[in-house]
Chains A and B, each alone.
Chain A
Amino acid sequence: MIDGSFQRLDHATTTLPNGLAVSALHHPRHPLVELRLAVPTWYADRAAGTVAAATLLAEDFFERSGLEAAASCASDVLTVEGQALPEDLRPALAALGTALSAPDCDEEAIRLSRASLARLAADQDGAPARTAWNTLLAEMYGEHPLALLSPSEGELLSVTPAAVGSFLAERLQSEGATLVISSPHPASHVIEVAEKAFGTLQRRPIPRLPGPARPAPAGRTVLLGQDGASENALVMGFAAVSRHDARFAAAELANLIVGGYFSSRLLRRLRQEQGYAYWVKSSLTTDPLGPALAVATNVRVEVSAAAVRVIHDDLARLGDEGPTGEEVEHARTHLKGAIRLLLATQQGVTGLAFALARHGLPLSWVQSHHARIAEVTTEQVRDFAAEFLQPGRAATVLAGDGR
């Protein structure tokens, strides 16, 4: 992919009569057909959605279609990701269109998927990292659907075939859905094939959505599983801003400076200066109902309290003093370069186009976002940290590996 050519890429977009938005991207060097599909599920029953997603593509789907695909369900969206050889474009799209328009999930298939998912969940349910994240989300979001990281063994086992059937009938639909396909085929040809394959997908009315999640966590620290533990999964969450907020570019830079990459403050403190942790990572989640910034690491039990103090102190200092100009510049060039690297691969191009399409943003958003990132000042990063990343507003969870 030629550097900077994203918006000049041969691409075509259309919205089918059923509401499905389709984008096709073409580059002769793309080795595969890459496909990403998002169907908004409007915060439907997550456990039923998880089983439905696992059952949607039948066992012999690949043999019939040539599309190596996987479906998954998050709080507000069912996603399908897939790859096929270029010569399999037509059967791949046709088979996926049929699987979505007329899902063929018999009870036996649902029972097998449910059992398999429940086995995996049972194995993970007690793991410290999973416990820590689940507890953090509950602390931050209370009863809101965003509080569910992924369904537990019990929640999955209680899903009935009828619940899966209702999920598929009511939520697997085309209104607000987004399909992005990149390939070595001309974009207009791909659009034609997609129109045929997905035209029969049904449109359904949008149900009533939950309101925004509780805006800010309460500053509590929760300790779990400390008896006999040698190591803690440590997670900390803060309310943040969504992609549509004017402060989003500052939030992105703040996230990098805090722990979003290897040159971050927390990695330097916890790994290089103190030797407390091998890794630490901060990340932004941008669900408009509850955007958040989370910090996660694994630390030895005996240095856990010290590690929490280091993180709290560092965040407080960022809010008081702000970052250095050098830190902001480094994070800024990192973000710009990271996008350039994404554009050098088909996977990156597809992923970025999909993320933009899901938010209803054009490919040219990348350039305007570069301009917004270029304008962020050290004061704006400081102000974001002062408003959102103060220890008193953090929810903190330490989950030990003891039993």
Chain B
Amino acid sequence: MTGSPTRLRLDNGLRVVLDEHGDAGATGVTVVYGGGAHADPDGQEGLAHLVEHLMFQGSAGYGAFAHFNYVQGLGGVVNARTWLDHTEFYQEVPATGLEALLAMEADRMAGFIADESRFRREIEVVKQEIRSGLAHPMAAFPWRWLAPLVRGGRSGAGDPAGSLNALDRLTLAQARAFFDAYYAPGDAVLAVSGHFATPKLTALIEELFGGIHARPSPGRVPAAVNHHDRTHHVFAAPTASAACAVAWPLAEGPASTQAVVYELLAKVLDTAVRDRARTAGPDLIRAWAALGVHDLGLNCAAPSAIAAAFHLGDRAQARQAVELAQRELQALAEGALTGSALEACVRRERISVGYGLDSFLHRSRELASYEFFLGAPAGALRKDADLRAVRPQQLASAARALLRHAPISIELAPHRESS
């Protein structure tokens, strides 16, 4: 399953990626739009998320809930997600449902729909989603706290508590304006992976999406590495136990050729901190390392970061945990990784890549984000070969690049401790 995907660009600017598997039986469809939480105007925090909810419900030609009822009626899966710098709608259906599904996606891109009562009700749903997230902070740890520190830009962007306060003040007109700006075809990507014939599907997509009017898009919200605020940050959270994390921002954006090196480095660091943590003492609940802001891997605009995170039984261990991770990264920078340890990590990562690409839903999401952020969707399908080509010295060099700047560290303190 490693053929090259077909790329198209419609006259209205919509980019399309097609990954054909003629007899697969299933098809994954992902649409990515350029607006995420970073695009929320000041005082309108949560707007991108709310618009995603409203557009998930349906579109002008189909009415409320028709879209996901259709997908569900076919046994498919459907969901949407607002990230910091993009919004993603994704679904998988049996191949027979593809044509109607694309018609619904085109209708969603074509026009905003929401009446005042639906708008107000959806605000309550979003608030409930946010409250649930706030009540279970470990599910979003560490990226919810690290992301605004790793990235420059407005503080508070993507902050759930902030948007909880702002949501009630939002208006339907603001939501419509956000849609008009950020759901424009010129800054969107449609990726389809699975059971179809490319020439026929190309014609269908041109027919369905080609008529959507091009409209100006504000473009990407620039994000830079934050090199100024590298102190230790402590946040109160309703957790039963404490947690801490240390992150090394990638000095430059992850160009596609470097992507797998950073992915592997994160995997190697993950293996190392898990091994050390297991024997470190009775108060370390869990340790892991990962690449990517908001667990997005490289599926986000530069910059990203590698972070090691620790779930602690005793808050006093935070410093030791951070030092443990720093020592491990330092050792990797000094070339401590043996060929056989690298080989084991490469095998692990290849299994994980094979596992992911087995799913047409996952393939469409990967292809959409590689096209959206890197303009090179084939990279999503080439990872197995890229992983096998990585040499130990590349990892050491990537680790040294991370260590050139001081890391950012954060700590979650259970706020029940003080009561």
| A residues at B contact (CB < 8 Å) | 1-4, 29-32, 59, 62-63, 66, 68, 83-85, 88, 112, 115-116, 119-120, 122-124, 126-127, 230-231, 261-263, 268, 271-273, 275-279, 298, 300, 330, 333-341, 343-347, 401, 403
Contact = CB atoms under 8 A, between A and B. Distances in A.
Interface centre among B65, B194, B355 (most CB of A within 10 A): B355
B42 interface: no
B121 A68 contact: no
Contacts of B278: 59, 112, 116
Contacts of B72: 261-263, 330, 334
Nearest to B356: A31
B25 A343 contact: yes
A347 B128 contact: no
Contact of B360 (A231, A300, A344, A401): A344
Ordered nearest first, which 3 A-B pairs have the shortest CB separation? A337-B75, A275-B124, A344-B26
Interface residues of B, number: 57
A248 B419 CA distance: 50
Contacts of A4: 25
B354 interface: yes
B1 A85 contact: no
Contacts of A120: 285-286
Given A3-B95, A278-B128, A278-B129, A127 B240 contact: yes
B75 A32 contact: no
B121 A272 contact: yes
Given A1-B24, A337-B75, A403-B416, A32 B351 contact: yes
Nearest to A299: B128
Contacts of B1: 29, 31
B137 to A, nearest CB: 12
B133 to A, nearest CB: 9
Contact of A231 (B65, B131, B358): B131
Given A263-B65, A333-B75, A334-B75, 7 more contacts: A29-B1, A85-B351, A231-B132, A271-B125, A334-B72, A334-B73, A337-B74
24 contacts: A2-B23, A2-B25, A3-B25, A31-B355, A32-B355, A59-B278, A85-B354, A112-B278, A119-B283, A123-B313, A124-B240, A231-B132, A272-B65, A275-B124, A278-B128, A278-B132, A298-B135, A333-B73, A337-B75, A340-B25, A341-B25, A344-B26, A345-B26, A346-B358
Nearest to A277: B128
Interface stretch (B4-12, B166-174, B342-350): B342-350
B359 A31 contact: no
B132 A298 contact: yes
B198 interface: no
Interface string B151-180: 000000000000000000000000000000
